[in-house]
Structures are given as structure tokens and as C-alpha cells.
A and B are shown apart, each in its own frame.
Chain A
Amino acid sequence: MTAILQVETVTRTVDARGSFCPGPLMELIRAIRESQVGDVIAVRSTDKGSKLDIPKWVEKAGHRLVSLDAREGYDEIVVQKLR
């Protein structure tokens, strides 16, 4: 069986490190609203809640969670706008 690797190119990176108010999820919502369907957005967050909050919102809002990775000192969450 051949694995199909789907590589997404990040359209926009949102550096929300150190953001408590409005916070990384709000920054992602802003970026999603300013983007086109199909765009891929990477959010960088130092808020420990983001890796739970963001996937929850992405599912509810009908977008796609591409990846979630722990980097040095922050998390990077990549989301594709689907609608």
C-alpha cells in the first residue's frame, strides 16, 4: 500500500506567542476571516490551552486541523480553511 503524503503549504503564519488577550484562538479566527477557502494558517502559541481550544473550534467551525506540533517553547497548530 502506498502512503499518500499530503503536504500543505502554509499561506500565513500568525505569531500569537505571549498573547493572553485577545489570545491565540481569537488571532486564528481573525486570520480565518481574512483568508480564502483553501488557505493554510499556522498559529504559534505559548498558551498551553491552545492545543485543546483550537482543535475544538476548528472542528465546530468545519475547518481542517492539518497538524499540531510542539516546537521549542511553543506549539504550532496548522489549520486549513474549508468553508
Chain B
Amino acid sequence: MDRIVILGGGVGGTLTANLLARRLGDRIARGEVDITLIDAQGAHVYQPGFMYIAMGGEREERLSRPERSLLDAPINLIVDTAVRIDEAARTIVLASGAILPYDYLVLATGSRIVPEEIPFFTQEARHFYTGKAALELRHALDAFAGGRVVIGIASMPYKCPPAPLEVSFLIEAELRERGLREKSEVHFCSPIGRAFTIESVSEVATPILEQKGIELHTFFNVEAIDPERKVILSLEGEELGYDLLILVPPHRGQQFLIDSGLAPAPGGWLPTDRHTLQVGGRPNVFALGDATDLPLSKAGSTAHFEAPVVVEGIIAGLEGRAPSGKHASYEGRVMCFFEVGDGKGTLLRFDYEHPPKPPKPNALWHLGKIVFNKTYFHTVPRGRV
């Protein structure tokens, strides 16, 4: 029997499991293949919704579903935490003490946030990378009566590159609606020399920043917080004062991947082949989603487009052939909605060879994002889109 083990019940892990189960249904029924997914919480969380807890009346309980409810019946689910991978023995050690053997391993272990790596982060800064933090940001905004709002990025890489810019647009719009705009300044700190990494998007975003009176600080990578003076300091040697500070926290890969010798410290990102998605040249270990070190957006859509390639890679391995068909190789495909505030949005679509050409922001793409958010649990993890 070939044992396929998937670590992680996010977009990448869940979709990979379901696609595998569909393609291997007969072999699973005959007892030739077994698929097991391990998830620490046993719940699948739609993380892009967190921003809307802070900015759009979303509730955390609506953003989560039991993982079991999203998995096809033949897939085994174990709710436990992986603590070590023993490559020599081809086993995974779980927190409960259980040891699980594998023939093929899929690492869909995501990223984790580590705000504590920046002194005074927890005390001074708000963010929207967990449901709880997003609610705290909502409360901070409710209590805000005017002053200087500063939005910045505390480390690279981080989930969803457009999010801090979107939050800047949405907060500015909210301050206007609440009659606080005259008493407030909004500052956006970009890590690079323009508003956004993709030049064509930057060309769309920069006039919007100007029109909304949001001050853009370029080459400003937030490095430290001085709580006494209420200023942030940049990696480039500048500083900026704040009344309300919103910072993207530092992100890391999983520590157990470093401890198991699969990912280098300190980042913990898995060295992943950009086309095969194999980890460090291992033919039976694959990674997808946030967990990889690929130079791509850490976003659900990246995992969504990677999953069929991982599935084809595993099935090709089982059948002793080279991957073939339209999912033989990952070509860097990513797709994201981008909110610009005032009920408008645009869409970013690109791959390794083709840069994005975002359409002019309009109400349609904003609605597209809302519909996607509302229908997510019925579509993406189940492999229906």
C-alpha cells in the first residue's frame, strides 16, 4: 500500500487531498493507496476574511468550517500537531506521540506570524492577520477620534502583498465617512521605491493615494518601535510618528521543518522547485502554499494553482512515469482581487512569464471579491473551481 500523508488543512492541503482522492478513488477502494491529512486544529479557516473583520463587519465564526466537512469521504483526518519528520525512517512524529509512516509527503504547513520578534509590537501595533487581532484593530478604529494613522510592513515575506495597501484605502474611506478625515493623517510605508511591487498596479494605486491624501513613504521597511516617543524606525534609517499603528507582523515557516532539517533557519521556508514543487530534490516530498520559498505571493490562490501540479507529481510517481498533461509543471500562476476602497476593486492575474495587467478599478471586481469570499467554502477547497 502507498501511503500519502498531507500536513496542513489550509487551501493547499485540503485541495490536494480532495483532488488526489478523486483521481485515486479506485485504488483507494482496492486498498492500494491511503490518504491521510493531519491538521492541528481540525478546522479550515478562510484567512482573507480577517481583513473584513476589521474593515467590513465580518465575524470570525463565519470564516471557519470543520476540516472533516470539506474532505472527501475516503480521506483520513487526524487532528494532531506534527512535531518532527524522520526522513530516514519516512515517518512523522505527532504531538500525541503517534508515529505515522509515509511514502509520499505533502507539506502544506503554511506560515505563522511572530509579532513577538519585534519588541513592543504587541503593546503598540494592531494588525489583521488573525481573527482576534483583526477584532482588536476594529476596536482601536472605533476608539480612534483623529490623529496620525501609520500603516507599515515589519518583515518580508508576508501573506497577501496587497493587503496593507488595501487597508490604507479602506481606512481612509472609513475616516471620511465618520467625519474624522479632517482631523487625521494617513501614512502608508512601502518597503520599495513605489506604492506597490507590480509597476502596473503601482501606476493605478499612486494616483488613488494622491487623490485620497494618503502620504506615501517609499523605501520604508519597519524595523523597530519606540513606544516612548511613539515612532517607528525603518531599516533604511528613518523614523515616523504615529497615533494608531497598523503593522504587518513578521512571518515564518514552521519551526519543526527547521528542526527536521527540511527548511533552513531562520525563515523556515521550504526549498521548493519552482516547477515540480518537490522539496530539495526529494522525489516523494512536495510543498505548496505559504510554506515554500518560491518568490511568489503568499496567498491562497498560489496554493490553489499549485495543488493540481502536486497531485500529478504524486500520481506520476505512483505510476512510475514522468508528470504529464496540463498540470505537469507549475508555471507560477497567481490570481488576486485588490480593493481600492469606495466600493471599487481590480484583479491581478500573472505567472512566471506574464506580468499582471490589472483592469481599471470598478465596482464589478469589488463585488467579485465579495462573492468569492461568500462562496469560498463551496468552491476552492472542494476543487470545484
- Interface residues, chain A, CB within 8 Å of chain B? 14-27, 29-30, 32-34, 49, 53, 56-57, 60-62
Q: Is the CB of A19 within 8 A of B192?
A: no
* Contact partner, B197, options A26, A30, A60, A61, Cβ 8 Å: A26
Q: Is the Cβ of B199 less than 8 Å from the Cβ of A33?
A: no
User: Cα distance A2–B297 when bound, in Å?
Assistant: 48
Does B219 interact with chain A (Cβ within 8 Å)? yes
Which A residues are CB-close (under 8 A) to B332?
18
For B336, the closest partner residue in chain A by CB is A21
**B residues neighboring A (CB under 8 Å):** 155-157, 161-162, 191-193, 197-199, 219, 221, 235-237, 266-267, 274, 295-297, 332, 334, 336, 348, 350-353, 355-356
Question: Given the interface contacts A26-B197, A60-B236, A62-B236, does A20 sit within 8 Å of B156 by beta carbon?
Answer: no
For B155, list chain A residues within 8 Å (CB).
Answer: 30, 33
Query: Does A30 contact B353, Cβ atoms closer than 8 Å?
Result: no
Given A18-B274, A61-B219; A26-B296 close (CB under 8 Å): no
| Interface of B (DSSP majority class) | loop
Q: List 16 A-B contacts (CB under 8 A).
A: A18-B352, A20-B197, A21-B197, A21-B348, A22-B295, A22-B297, A23-B192, A23-B295, A24-B295, A25-B197, A29-B191, A33-B155, A33-B235, A53-B193, A57-B219, A60-B236
Residues of chain B within 8 A of A61, CB atoms compared: 219, 221, 235-237
Whether the pair B192, A57 counts as a contact (CB closer than 8 A) is yes
Residues on the A chain within 8 Å of B295, using CB: 14-19, 22-24, 27
Q: Which residues of B contact A53 (CB under 8 A)?
A: 192-193
